[in-house]
Structure 1
């Protein structure tokens, strides 16, 4: 009889998890997956220069948080910068940043889609997913 409370507790936890997950649409779960994967991509490829909080690094690397970038650049432009880098100066909050940003040819379209989704969600106040198809099209048409 000692196992009955344990089984009932396990069933209660499983029921709660099922109810919680059923409250979210498939699309929202998918979007959240992109955000989490994008966060891992950011930590691996971007955080060193742009910092964990997106504040950038003094005059060397531009901030991503609290900037006008999200109003000036669309998701396709952001995808191209991530993949191909930024050679020219970029203006962020009326301040020019001259440092070269290398691209990352190892990133696949899915990596870029997840990263753009994360960046827009985190600092762009834009919770929309940047789909794999959109990323493929954007990367194919980069200047």
Structure 2
């Protein structure tokens, strides 16, 4: 089952972090997909602000991972855009980052197929002709 949301502006994308934060308060693994510049990091910024992070939120494109210690939850934001080979994920130590009090947000997760933990939620973001964005959220059912 999926849910679809239309977000007309960048501010709407940031604001969408509030309902998303409530949904992800207990952690999990979220795959974020969409073209370059579609707003994946903007959505993460809104989510982190809604979870109480007041500092800077930057894209982890070069360092691959940025971590944020929040009250009761550690959020790890991965951006695999610059990843050369999926096997490189093994060097990030992702299993060491995950526990019951962590949230893993992965941009460009398709580059890490076979090396990432399964997603609990998948968020696809698309550009629309009127410059708004369509977010499609799918909850992944564990088998």
What TM-score does the superposition give when structure 1 sets the normalisation length? Answer: 0.30
Q: Select the structure with the greater relative contact order (CA < 8 A; seq sep ≥ 6).
A: 2
Larger radius of gyration: 1
Which one has a larger percent helix, Structure 1 or Structure 2? Answer: 1
What TM-score does the superposition give when structure 2 sets the normalisation length? Answer: 0.30
